[in-house]
Structure 1
């Protein structure tokens, strides 16, 4: 679950707290990613200069808390483990 606040301009500009499932939040956020080569105004929202540092701190905290990913074996190691024979020395 993800909770976030925003100004609801349809109802007088009051701040509203929304709670969404993680997958729904990601889906709604992805809609705001522009297509390749699309010109974007960079002075509003999370791209604005005045909130850049705050957003950077938040993303750094998220990345620090991300779980470590085990290294995936390459195809040669997987094939050797499955067949018991190194495919390059057959």
Structure 2
């Protein structure tokens, strides 16, 4: 992209109507900025990253259907969900419920600390 006072040469494009010849597009500065800003999302909008099979809507049913189409084995129903303490004990062999000081007593939850809910800022602070 080269820049001059009035025009901007912006990349190459294929002209399909003219035997797929590569051409350089020249735009005035205002038009380039307008086209560039079409890609900037308005405040508080979010870009959608997944669509189709990986979209959140009906994801489980779509994945089951895909497995049926490709003749993949269905996942066996997993046993009851384990707590995070049981998973660490099973994977690492560390019992996090045992007191780290005396190694004999059991630690119990006396009080929970709930995180505060923070929302994204309403405006960009520069």
TM tier relative to shorter chain: 0.3 to 0.5
The structure number with the bigger radius of gyration is: 2
Q: What is the TM-score normalised by the length of structure 2?
A: 0.26
Q: What is the TM-score normalised by the length of structure 1?
A: 0.34
**Higher RCO, Cα 8 Å, sep 6+:** 1
